[in-house]
Protein backbone atom coordinates (compact mmCIF):
# COMPACT_ATOMS: atom_id res chain seq x y z
CA UNK A 1 0.00 0.00 0.00
CA UNK A 2 1.46 3.34 -1.05
CA UNK A 3 1.67 6.26 1.31
CA UNK A 4 -0.74 9.10 0.57
CA UNK A 5 -0.46 12.78 1.37
CA UNK A 6 -4.03 13.72 0.45
CA UNK A 7 -5.45 16.26 2.91
CA UNK A 8 -8.51 15.15 4.85
CA UNK A 9 -9.13 18.37 6.83
CA UNK A 10 -9.55 22.08 6.17
CA UNK A 11 -9.75 25.31 8.24
CA UNK A 12 -13.53 24.92 8.60
CA UNK A 13 -12.99 22.09 11.09
CA UNK A 14 -12.55 24.59 13.92
CA UNK A 15 -15.82 26.42 13.25
CA UNK A 16 -17.69 23.13 12.86
CA UNK A 17 -16.21 21.23 15.78
CA UNK A 18 -15.30 23.70 18.54
CA UNK A 19 -18.97 24.40 19.42
CA UNK A 20 -19.58 20.66 19.75
CA UNK A 21 -16.54 20.28 22.00
CA UNK A 22 -17.44 23.29 24.14
CA UNK A 23 -20.94 21.95 24.68
CA UNK A 24 -19.49 18.71 26.03
CA UNK A 25 -16.99 20.65 28.14
CA UNK A 26 -19.84 22.64 29.69
CA UNK A 27 -21.65 19.41 30.58
CA UNK A 28 -18.59 18.37 32.60
CA UNK A 29 -18.14 21.78 34.22
CA UNK A 30 -14.90 22.49 32.35
CA UNK A 31 -13.65 25.96 31.46
CA UNK A 32 -10.98 24.57 29.16
CA UNK A 33 -9.59 21.38 27.67
CA UNK A 34 -6.10 20.26 26.63
CA UNK A 35 -5.70 18.49 23.29
CA UNK A 36 -2.26 16.95 22.70
CA UNK A 37 -1.37 15.31 19.43
CA UNK A 38 -0.35 12.07 21.13
CA UNK A 39 -2.80 9.22 21.66
CA UNK A 40 -3.19 6.59 24.38
CA UNK A 41 0.00 4.92 23.18
CA UNK A 42 2.11 8.09 22.84
CA UNK A 43 2.31 7.59 19.08
CA UNK A 44 3.71 10.30 16.85
CA UNK A 45 1.89 8.95 13.79
CA UNK A 46 -1.72 8.19 14.60
CA UNK A 47 -4.50 6.03 13.22
CA UNK A 48 -7.41 8.12 11.96
CA UNK A 49 -9.50 7.25 15.02
CA UNK A 50 -6.97 8.96 17.30
CA UNK A 51 -6.44 12.16 15.28
CA UNK A 52 -8.18 14.26 17.93
CA UNK A 53 -6.12 17.39 17.29
CA UNK A 54 -6.91 17.28 13.57
CA UNK A 55 -10.62 16.85 14.24
CA UNK A 56 -10.75 19.85 16.58
CA UNK A 57 -8.51 22.23 14.62
CA UNK A 58 -7.89 20.98 11.07
CA UNK A 59 -4.13 20.65 11.70
CA UNK A 60 -2.67 17.31 10.54
CA UNK A 61 1.01 17.68 11.46
CA UNK A 62 2.74 15.08 13.65
CA UNK A 63 3.66 17.53 16.43
CA UNK A 64 1.24 19.97 17.97
CA UNK A 65 -1.28 20.71 20.70
CA UNK A 66 -4.29 22.91 21.37
CA UNK A 67 -5.92 24.50 24.39
CA UNK A 68 -9.63 25.18 24.03
CA UNK A 69 -11.22 27.59 26.51
CA UNK A 70 -14.87 28.68 26.65
CA UNK A 71 -14.25 31.87 24.67
CA UNK A 72 -10.90 31.38 22.98
CA UNK A 73 -8.52 28.74 21.73
CA UNK A 74 -4.83 28.40 20.96
CA UNK A 75 -2.85 26.20 18.57
CA UNK A 76 0.76 25.17 19.27
CA UNK A 77 3.20 23.77 16.69
CA UNK A 78 6.95 23.64 16.17
CA UNK A 79 8.96 25.36 13.46
CA UNK A 80 8.45 22.60 10.91
CA UNK A 81 4.77 23.48 10.59
CA UNK A 82 4.78 27.27 10.34
CA UNK A 83 3.29 27.22 6.83
CA UNK A 84 1.06 24.19 7.34
CA UNK A 85 -0.67 25.48 10.48
CA UNK A 86 -1.55 28.74 8.72
CA UNK A 87 -3.05 26.82 5.81
CA UNK A 88 -5.03 24.35 7.92
CA UNK A 89 -6.39 26.36 10.86
CA UNK A 90 -8.65 29.42 11.09
CA UNK A 91 -6.78 32.43 12.54
CA UNK A 92 -10.09 33.91 13.70
CA UNK A 93 -10.52 30.92 16.03
CA UNK A 94 -7.01 29.95 17.05
CA UNK A 95 -4.15 32.04 18.35
CA UNK A 96 -0.88 30.49 17.20
CA UNK A 97 2.13 29.81 19.39
CA UNK A 98 5.28 27.73 19.52
CA UNK A 99 4.85 24.19 20.82
CA UNK A 100 7.06 24.95 23.80
CA UNK A 101 4.70 27.69 25.00
CA UNK A 102 1.77 25.56 26.21
CA UNK A 103 2.76 25.94 29.87
CA UNK A 104 3.25 29.67 29.46
CA UNK A 105 -0.21 29.94 27.91
CA UNK A 106 -1.73 28.15 30.88
CA UNK A 107 -0.10 30.68 33.19
CA UNK A 108 -2.55 33.17 31.67
CA UNK A 109 -5.62 31.08 32.44
CA UNK A 110 -8.39 32.79 34.46
CA UNK A 111 -8.10 32.33 38.20
CA UNK A 112 -10.36 29.52 39.35
CA UNK A 113 -10.63 28.01 35.86
CA UNK A 114 -11.01 24.23 35.66
CA UNK A 115 -9.15 22.86 32.65
CA UNK A 116 -9.75 19.24 31.76
CA UNK A 117 -7.34 16.72 30.31
CA UNK A 118 -7.50 13.08 29.32
CA UNK A 119 -4.90 11.33 31.55
CA UNK A 120 -4.37 8.63 28.93
CA UNK A 121 -2.90 11.15 26.49
CA UNK A 122 -0.19 12.84 28.56
CA UNK A 123 3.13 11.55 29.89
CA UNK A 124 3.67 12.14 33.63
CA UNK A 125 6.62 14.50 33.07
CA UNK A 126 4.80 16.64 30.50
CA UNK A 127 1.69 16.78 32.66
CA UNK A 128 3.62 17.88 35.75
CA UNK A 129 4.88 20.98 33.91
CA UNK A 130 1.37 21.89 32.80
CA UNK A 131 -0.03 21.40 36.30
CA UNK A 132 2.59 23.70 37.77
CA UNK A 133 1.81 26.38 35.18
CA UNK A 134 -1.93 26.19 35.80
CA UNK A 135 -1.35 26.35 39.54
CA UNK A 136 0.62 29.58 39.16
CA UNK A 137 -2.43 31.09 37.46
CA UNK A 138 -4.75 29.90 40.21
CA UNK A 139 -6.35 27.43 37.79
CA UNK A 140 -6.79 23.67 38.16
CA UNK A 141 -6.08 20.82 35.78
CA UNK A 142 -8.72 18.12 36.17
CA UNK A 143 -8.50 14.57 34.75
CA UNK A 144 -11.67 13.51 32.95
CA UNK A 145 -13.16 10.04 33.01
CA UNK A 146 -14.79 10.57 29.61
CA UNK A 147 -12.98 12.62 26.98
CA UNK A 148 -15.39 15.41 25.90
CA UNK A 149 -13.75 15.55 22.47
CA UNK A 150 -14.45 11.86 21.92
CA UNK A 151 -18.06 12.49 22.94
CA UNK A 152 -18.34 15.42 20.54
CA UNK A 153 -16.78 13.43 17.70
CA UNK A 154 -19.45 10.79 18.20
CA UNK A 155 -20.58 8.46 15.44
CA UNK A 156 -18.45 10.15 12.80
CA UNK A 157 -15.27 8.96 14.47
CA UNK A 158 -13.46 6.25 12.48
CA UNK A 159 -13.17 2.79 13.97
CA UNK A 160 -9.97 1.79 15.72
CA UNK A 161 -7.60 -0.11 13.40
CA UNK A 162 -7.72 -3.89 13.56
CA UNK A 163 -4.83 -5.13 11.44
CA UNK A 164 -3.80 -8.75 12.11
CA UNK A 165 -0.97 -9.31 14.59
CA UNK A 166 1.49 -11.82 13.17
CA UNK A 167 4.66 -13.57 14.41
CA UNK A 168 8.05 -12.00 13.70
CA UNK A 169 10.49 -14.95 13.43
CA UNK A 170 13.49 -15.21 15.73
CA UNK A 171 15.76 -15.30 12.67
CA UNK A 172 14.92 -11.61 12.24
CA UNK A 173 14.53 -10.57 15.87
CA UNK A 174 17.72 -12.25 17.10
CA UNK A 175 16.17 -13.33 20.41
CA UNK A 176 13.07 -15.30 21.33
CA UNK A 177 10.23 -13.49 23.06
CA UNK A 178 10.50 -15.96 25.96
CA UNK A 179 14.12 -14.92 26.52
CA UNK A 180 13.17 -11.25 26.28
CA UNK A 181 10.33 -11.65 28.75
CA UNK A 182 12.55 -13.46 31.23
CA UNK A 183 15.31 -10.85 30.89
CA UNK A 184 13.02 -7.84 31.23
CA UNK A 185 11.10 -9.53 34.03
CA UNK A 186 14.32 -9.72 36.04
CA UNK A 187 14.84 -6.00 35.45
CA UNK A 188 11.30 -5.34 36.68
CA UNK A 189 12.01 -7.33 39.86
CA UNK A 190 15.33 -5.57 40.38
CA UNK A 191 13.48 -2.25 40.21
CA UNK A 192 11.29 -3.42 43.10
CA UNK A 193 8.14 -3.87 41.02
CA UNK A 194 5.87 -6.86 40.50
CA UNK A 195 4.94 -6.02 36.91
CA UNK A 196 5.40 -3.46 34.14
CA UNK A 197 2.59 -1.97 32.06
CA UNK A 198 3.41 -1.56 28.36
CA UNK A 199 1.34 0.64 26.05
CA UNK A 200 3.77 1.73 23.31
CA UNK A 201 3.27 -0.21 20.05
CA UNK A 202 7.03 -0.45 19.50
CA UNK A 203 7.47 -2.06 22.94
CA UNK A 204 4.67 -4.55 22.29
CA UNK A 205 6.14 -5.48 18.90
CA UNK A 206 9.65 -5.88 20.29
CA UNK A 207 8.86 -7.80 23.46
CA UNK A 208 6.56 -10.39 21.90
CA UNK A 209 8.30 -10.57 18.51
CA UNK A 210 5.16 -9.63 16.61
CA UNK A 211 4.25 -7.17 13.90
CA UNK A 212 1.01 -5.45 12.90
CA UNK A 213 -0.40 -2.65 10.79
CA UNK A 214 -2.23 -0.31 13.15
CA UNK A 215 0.27 2.56 13.05
CA UNK A 216 0.87 4.34 9.76
CA UNK A 217 4.42 4.23 8.40
CA UNK A 218 5.36 1.50 10.91
CA UNK A 219 4.54 -2.25 11.10
CA UNK A 220 3.26 -1.99 14.67
CA UNK A 221 0.23 -3.32 16.58
CA UNK A 222 -1.79 -1.23 19.03
CA UNK A 223 -2.40 -2.97 22.33
CA UNK A 224 -1.34 -3.12 25.96
CA UNK A 225 0.51 -5.67 28.03
CA UNK A 226 1.30 -6.50 31.64
CA UNK A 227 4.71 -8.15 32.01
CA UNK A 228 5.19 -9.82 35.38
CA UNK A 229 8.50 -10.14 37.16
CA UNK A 230 8.49 -13.91 36.55
CA UNK A 231 8.36 -13.36 32.78
CA UNK A 232 4.72 -14.27 32.28
CA UNK A 233 2.54 -11.73 30.51
CA UNK A 234 -1.00 -10.71 29.69
CA UNK A 235 -1.43 -9.20 26.22
CA UNK A 236 -4.55 -7.09 25.66
CA UNK A 237 -5.60 -7.13 22.00
CA UNK A 238 -8.81 -6.68 20.05
CA UNK A 239 -9.94 -10.19 19.09
CA UNK A 240 -10.14 -9.09 15.43
CA UNK A 241 -6.34 -8.78 15.43
CA UNK A 242 -5.65 -12.25 16.82
CA UNK A 243 -4.60 -14.52 13.97
CA UNK A 244 -4.73 -18.31 14.17
CA UNK A 245 -0.94 -18.46 14.45
CA UNK A 246 -0.63 -15.97 17.30
CA UNK A 247 -1.63 -18.04 20.38
CA UNK A 248 0.74 -20.88 19.46
CA UNK A 249 3.51 -18.35 18.77
CA UNK A 250 3.13 -16.69 22.16
CA UNK A 251 2.81 -19.95 24.13
CA UNK A 252 1.31 -20.76 27.51
CA UNK A 253 3.14 -18.00 29.39
CA UNK A 254 1.32 -15.24 27.49
CA UNK A 255 -2.42 -14.84 28.00
CA UNK A 256 -4.33 -12.95 25.28
CA UNK A 257 -7.25 -10.90 26.60
CA UNK A 258 -9.66 -8.22 25.41
CA UNK A 259 -8.51 -4.59 25.87
CA UNK A 260 -11.48 -3.97 28.18
CA UNK A 261 -9.92 -6.35 30.70
CA UNK A 262 -6.89 -4.13 31.32
CA UNK A 263 -8.57 -1.85 33.88
CA UNK A 264 -9.95 -4.88 35.68
CA UNK A 265 -6.51 -6.48 35.72
CA UNK A 266 -4.93 -3.36 37.20
CA UNK A 267 -7.65 -3.00 39.83
CA UNK A 268 -7.22 -6.65 40.84
CA UNK A 269 -3.47 -6.32 41.21
CA UNK A 270 -2.26 -6.16 44.84
CA UNK A 271 -2.23 -2.48 45.74
CA UNK A 272 -4.35 -1.56 42.71
CA UNK A 273 -7.72 0.11 42.59
The pTM score is 0.88
Q: CB of 56 within 8 A of CB of 21?
A: yes
Residue 26: CB partners within 8 Å, gap ≥ 6? Answer: 70
Same domain assignment for residues 106 and 74: yes
Final residue before a domain boundary, out of 156, 174, 192: 156
Q: What count of residues does the chain have?
A: 273
Compute, in degrees rounded to 10, the torsion defined by CA atoms 163, 161, 62, 6.
Answer: 90
Provide the residue range defining the domain that includes 183. 166-268
* Residue 6 in domain: no
Final residue before a domain boundary, out of 156, 177, 210: 156
What single string gives the DSSP state of each residue in 165-228?
A: BEE--HHHHSS-HHHHHHHHHHHHHHTT-SEEEE--HHHHHHHHTEE-SSSTTS-----EEEEE
Which residue in 24, 29, 83 sits closest to 59, CA to CA?
Answer: 83
Same domain assignment for residues 191 and 221: yes
* Residue 7 in domain: no
Q: Structural domain tally of the chain?
A: 2
Final residue before a domain boundary, out of 132, 156, 180: 156
pLDDT tens for 93-134 read 999 999 999 999 999 999 999 999 999 999 999 999 999 999
Confidence (pLDDT) at 267: 86
Give the number of other CB atoms < 10 A from CB of residue 144.
Answer: 20
pLDDT tens for 52-95 read 999 999 999 999 999 999 999 999 999 999 999 999 999 999 99
Same domain assignment for residues 31 and 126: yes
Which residue in 267, 263, 199, 259 sits closest to 227, CA to CA?
Answer: 199
Same domain assignment for residues 213 and 94: no
Q: CB of 157 within 8 A of CB of 17?
A: no
- Residue 6: pLDDT band (50, 70, 90) is low
Residues 18-38, mean pLDDT to the nearest whole number: 98
pLDDT tens for 178-207 read 999 999 999 999 999 999 999 999 999 999
Q: What is the CA radius of gyration of the chain?
A: 20
* Residue 191 in domain: yes
**pLDDT(270) > 80:** no
* Residue 238 in domain: yes
Query: What is the distance between the alpha carbons of residues 30 and 22, in angstroms, rounded to a whole number?
Result: 9
Same domain assignment for residues 94 and 218: no
DSSP 62: S
Confidence (pLDDT) at 50: 95
Give the DSSP H or E segment for 66.
strand 64-69
Output the domain CATH number for residue 22.
3.40.350.10
Angle between helices 177-190 and 201-208 (to 10 degrees): 120
Amino acid sequence: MRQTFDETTDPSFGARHLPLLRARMAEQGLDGFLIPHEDEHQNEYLPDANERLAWATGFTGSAGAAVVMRDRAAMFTDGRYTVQVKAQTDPALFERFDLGDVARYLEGAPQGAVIGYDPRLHSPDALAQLQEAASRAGATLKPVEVNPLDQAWGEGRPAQPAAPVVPHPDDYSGESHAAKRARIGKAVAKAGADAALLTAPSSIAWLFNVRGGDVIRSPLPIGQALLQADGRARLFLDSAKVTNALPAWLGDEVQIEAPERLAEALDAWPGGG
